[in-house]
Amino acid sequence: MRIRCTFADQDFTCILQDTPSTRNFISMLPLDLTIEDFSTNEKLARLPRRLDEGGLVD
């Protein structure tokens, strides 16, 4: 699966494996996410709901 992402003024393509989590993520699209700083050099964004992990246990 391929999706197009935009960050600031840059577009890029992401290639995703076909998994239950990917399908669950795709069902949330389109998304507008707020990017937060994490530990100075990393970024994160919170999804509107938790992803289905396809039976994986925490």
User: pLDDT value at position 20?
Assistant: 87
User: pLDDT value at position 12?
Assistant: 95
- Strand-pair category, 2-7 with 36-38: unpaired
User: pLDDT value at position 58?
Assistant: 55
User: pLDDT value at position 40?
Assistant: 84
Please, are residues 10 and 45 in contact by the beta-carbon 8 Å criterion? no
Angle (nearest 5°) at CA 44 between 42 and 46: 170
Please, are residues 31 and 37 in contact by the beta-carbon 8 Å criterion? no
Domain boundary assignment for the chain? 2-44
User: pLDDT value at position 10?
Assistant: 94
Give me 58's structure tokens: 């925490």
User: pLDDT value at position 8?
Assistant: 85
| DSSP 8-state code for residue 50 | P
Residue 3's identity, in one-letter code, is I
Per-residue pLDDT 10s for the chain (58 aa) are: 899 999 889 999 999 999 888 999 999 999 999 999 998 889 999 999 998 877 665 5
